[in-house]
């Protein structure tokens, strides 16, 4: 190993050690050997140049500081990608400044989000004109105008004015499709252009996975190419990247985008071409074709392979009608394009939508066509069977050091599944770092004995609730009851609705926005939250507010999922085992995410209850258990509660010592 790599690793470890730069500058910082080990590995990878590293850092390791410290000490140009906008904000607003201050570094930094997060001056003006006379929207528009006048970034996600699902949000932000670009009369004030400029000039840029993939694929998100100038790429929450990439490198066509196009055409026509009544007729024709498509798809499953939709031939004919209507509108917009930049841009959008639909209808090798039906819209997807190849191809074009990290990358000690999905070779440098938390003293694993019935039998959810009842009512704090399906979640909610005492409020996913549920859960301290997939990860609640996590089943993907069906068929055709090579590793990693909600701090104490009888009744159950920390174990809910109370008492004694 090069002397410089050794020096870099030693500097990074020293900064995070007792008496180091970080310990001296950050109040309450506790040095951790796994964190120092990870920092050394990251420093060596950065110094090696054009290398790659996979690091699984369990909860408590402190992976954010473990990659920020060596990255900032390297003084290289760094791009950091996170899984969510919430993590982006925390990294940029809190962690990055804290580390830079501790190290005495002053790099130029930038936060970059997708353009739909930034207020658009031009579209705000249009929305304000549309809202004239509507009392309900007038005050919101005034607040947005104040934001537009006074904000440096125009970031709607941080402004707190609109909920992200508010109908007004897409009307006051832009997309690649509806941005006027260089023709926009407000170009000099554009928040997106400013964000792009800051990112291109920065030494450290924080993005999310969608933007990272946009840059890798050279898709126009309006931010230019960042990767060619970057020397270090750090992908946090890397376990999310393959699924996001699968959708990103694929193709999608949705009725909502068509509806939005029609609305915008009418708005631009009334402003710049009111005499071109033919456009109104063409928009009406398109709306009628989409309405026919939605009628045709009424009753389709929520998700289904294209080959399995009812009346396949009739659906194709209806889609052909949508394409013809798009072509007609495009022709009308071509004649109106000179009237105004909005109409010219609408013509480009119409052409892009038509091209997207044509591309979806083509039988492209290596992709899976499937449909997704919502209450008032339809999405057509064409997803690559495997995103590893495009990920690998795009990465090789960027001669940078790549660090992939997450709390869930390994199955036991095996990183091959994660490496293959990320487009990395099987022999990529990889390291698993265990949590410094003492799980045997802090947490109890409760598994029913005798086992519950098979998860596929009727009455299984009731059996879970009945077995877990002592945990539900005996919990001294709050808890999560996590489910692998919304059907089981709803059934459990119905069973518990009137059984839990008033001091233990029941919060159910789907009945309130996610952020509101989490806020109420934290405030209560004794609530039970019933959640599906979106609560299995990305939730950090410390202390007694979350002291029990109950999981109803091992999180195998639904066998009816069209993309999974195609992937398993491809693995089988290649001579592999779909279950052992894909479904089992994916389920193990998903379980680790759910388990990771429980112990978030050295002072936490809790119970993890896994109801699924396959954990002990099937040979593959050992794969799950081997991938979990070493818990104290019990099959008796009452004994598990006794352990929890004892752990809480020990915590009090330790705090006083």
The DSSP-derived string for 117-182 is: GBB-HHHHHHHHHHHTT-HHHHHHHHHHHHHHHH-SS-BHHHH-SS-TT-TTGGGSB--TTT--GG
Residue 219 has pLDDT above 80, yes or no: no
The yes-or-no verdict on residue 226 having pLDDT over 90 is: no
347, 333 contact by CB (below 8 A): yes
Q: Which is nearest to 506 in space by CA: 520, 519, 487? A: 520
Looking at residue 1, its pLDDT comes to 44
What's the confidence (pLDDT) of residue 175? 85
The model's confidence at residue 222, banded by pLDDT at 50, 70 and 90, is very low
Are the beta carbons of 297 and 304 closer than 8 angstroms? no
Q: Which domains does the chain have, with CATH numbers?
A: 3-107+203-241+387-433 (3.40.50.300), 115-195 (no CATH), 251-384 (1.20.1440), 439-656 (3.40.50.300)
Residue 467 scores a pLDDT above 80: yes
Helix (H) or strand (E) holding 234: strand 232-235
Angstrom distance (rounded) from CA 66 to CA 62:
6
Q: CA-to-CA distance for 643 and 474, rounded, in angstroms?
A: 12
Residue 365 to residues 250, 355, 385, 525: CA-CA distances in angstroms?
Answer: 12, 18, 9, 52
Mean pLDDT for the stretch of residues 592-603: 95
Task: Decide which of 158 and 476 is more confident.
Answer: 476
Decide if 584 contacts 610 (C-beta within 8 A): no
More confident residue, 399 or 416: 416
- pLDDT beyond 50 at 2: no
CB 455 within 8 A of CB 622: no
Which of these, 332, 574, 492, 407, lies nearest to 62 by C-alpha position?
Answer: 407
* Helices 63-74, 96-103: inter-axial angle, 10-degree rounding: 50
Q: Higher pLDDT residue, 179 or 520?
A: 520
Comparing C-alpha atoms, which of 129, 170, 173 is closest to residue 147? 173
- Output the pLDDT for position 181: 84
Which residues lie closer than 8 Å to 317 by C-beta, 6 or more apart? none
Task: Say if residue 330's pLDDT is above 50.
Answer: yes
Sheet holding 606-610, edge to edge: 506-508, 528-531, 479-482, 548-551, 606-610, 443-446, 632-634
Confidence of residue 220 (pLDDT cuts 50, 70, 90): very low
Q: Tell which phi-psi region holds residue 160, choosing left (phi > 0), alpha (psi between -120 and 50) or beta.
A: left
Q: DSSP assignment, residue 620?
A: T
Dist CA 639 CA 348 (whole Å) = 66
Region 594-621 average pLDDT:
96
Distance CA 395, CA 392 (A): 5
| Cα 340–Cα 345–Cα 349 angle in degrees, nearest 5 | 150
Distance, in Å, from the CA atom of 608 to the CA atom of 438, rounded to the nearest integer, reads 14
Confidence category of residue 656, pLDDT binned at 50, 70, 90: very low
Task: Quote the CA–CA distance of 6 and 466 in Å, as a whole number.
Answer: 57
Lowest mean pLDDT among 165-179, 325-339, 360-374: 165-179
Rounded CA gap, 21 and 169, in Å? 43
pLDDT confidence bin for 402, thresholds 50/70/90 = very high
Instruction: Name the pLDDT band for 652 (thresholds 50, 70, 90).
Output: low
- Angle between helix 486-496 and 460-474 (nearest 10): 50
Which tens digit of pLDDT belongs to each residue from 161-172? 988 878 899 999
pLDDT greater than 80 at residue 133:
no
Q: What predicted TM-score, i.e. pTM, was given to this entire model?
A: 0.92
Closest alpha carbon to 150 in 188, 122, 191, 116 = 191
User: What pLDDT does 256 receive?
Assistant: 93
- Tell which wins on pLDDT, 86 or 478: 478
Q: How far is CA 526 from the centre of its chain?
A: 28
Estimate to the nearest angstrom the gap between the alpha carbon of 108 and the chain centroid.
27
């Amino acid at each position: 190993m090069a002397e410089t790599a050794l020096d870099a690793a030693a500097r990074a470890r020293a900064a995070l050690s007792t008496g180091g730069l970080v310990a001296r500058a950050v109040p309450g910082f506790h040095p951790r050997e796994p964190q120092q080990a990870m920092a050394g590995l990251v420093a060596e990878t950065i110094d090696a140049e054009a290398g790659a590293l996979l690091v699984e850092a369990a909860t408590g390791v402190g992976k954010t500081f473990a990659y920020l410290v060596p990255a900032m000490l390297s003084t290289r140009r760094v791009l950091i990608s996170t899984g969510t906008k919430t993590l982006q904000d925390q990294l940029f607003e809190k962690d990055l400044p804290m580390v830079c201050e501790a190290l005495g570094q002053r790099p130029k930094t930038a936060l970059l989000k997708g353009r739909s997060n930034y207020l658009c001056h031009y579209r705000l003006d249009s929305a304000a004109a549309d809202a004239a006379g509507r009392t309900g929207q007038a005050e919101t528009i005034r607040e947005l105008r104040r934001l537009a006048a006074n904000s440096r970034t125009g970031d709607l996600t941080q402004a707190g004015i609109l909920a992200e699902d508010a109908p007004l949000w897409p009307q006051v932000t832009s997309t690649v499709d509806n941005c006027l670009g260089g023709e926009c009369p407000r170009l000099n004030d554009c928040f997106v252009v400013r964000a792009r400029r800051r990112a291109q000039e920065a030494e450290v840029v924080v993005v999310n996975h969608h933007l990272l993939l946009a840059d890798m694929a050279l898709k126009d998100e309006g931010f230019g190419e960042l990767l060619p100038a970057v020397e270090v790429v750090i992908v946090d929450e890397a376990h999310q990247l393959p699924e996001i990439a699968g959708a990103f490198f694929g193709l999608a066509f949705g009725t909502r985008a068509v509806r939005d196009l029609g609305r915008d055409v009418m708005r631009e026509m009334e402003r710049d071409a009111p005499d071109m009544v033919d456009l109104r007729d063409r928009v009406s024709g398109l709306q009628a074709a989409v309405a026919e498509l939605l009628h045709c798809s009424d009753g389709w499953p929520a998700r289904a392979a294209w080959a399995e939709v009812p009346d396949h031939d009739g659906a194709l004919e209806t889609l052909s009608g949508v394409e013809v209507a798009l072509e007609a509108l495009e022709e009308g917009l071509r004649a109106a394009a000179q009237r105004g930049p909005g109409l010219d841009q609408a013509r480009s959008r119409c052409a892009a939508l038509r091209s997207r639909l044509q591309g979806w209808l083509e039988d492209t090798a290596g992709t899976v066509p499937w449909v997704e039906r919502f209450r008032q819209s339809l999405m057509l997807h064409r997803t690559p069977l495997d995103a590893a190849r495009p990920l690998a191809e795009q990465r090789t074009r960027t001669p940078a050091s790549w660090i992939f990290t997450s709390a869930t990358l390994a199955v036991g000690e095996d990183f091959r599944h994660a490496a293959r999905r990320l487009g990395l070779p099987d022999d990529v440098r990889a390291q698993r770092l265990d949590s410094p938390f003492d799980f045997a003293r802090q947490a109890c694993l409760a598994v029913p004995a005798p086992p519950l019935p098979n998860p596929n039998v009727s009455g299984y959810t009731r059996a879970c609730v009945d077995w877990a009842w002592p945990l539900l009512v005996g919990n001294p704090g709050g808890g999560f009851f996590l489910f692998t399906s919304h059907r089981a979640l709803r059934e459990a909610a119905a069973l518990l609705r009137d059984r839990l005492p008033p001091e233990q409020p029941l919060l159910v996913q789907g009945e309130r926005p996610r952020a509101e549920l989490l806020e109420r859960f934290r405030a209560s301290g004794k609530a039970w939250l019933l959640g599906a997939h979106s609560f299995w990860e990305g939730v950090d609640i410390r202390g007694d507010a979350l002291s029990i996590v109950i999981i109803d089943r091992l999180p195998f993907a639904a066998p009816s999922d069209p993309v999974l069906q195609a992937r398993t068929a491809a693995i089988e055709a290649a001579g592999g085992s779909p279950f052992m090579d894909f479904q089992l590793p994916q389920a193990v990693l998903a379980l680790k995410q759910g388990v990771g909600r429980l112990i978030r701090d050295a002072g936490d104490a809790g119970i993890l209850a896994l109801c699924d009888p396959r954990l002990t009744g099937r040979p593959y159950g050992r794969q799950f258990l081997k991938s979990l920390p070493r818990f104290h174990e019990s099959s008796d809910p009452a004994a598990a509660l006794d352990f929890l109370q004892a752990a809480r008492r020990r915590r009090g004694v330790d705090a006083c010592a």
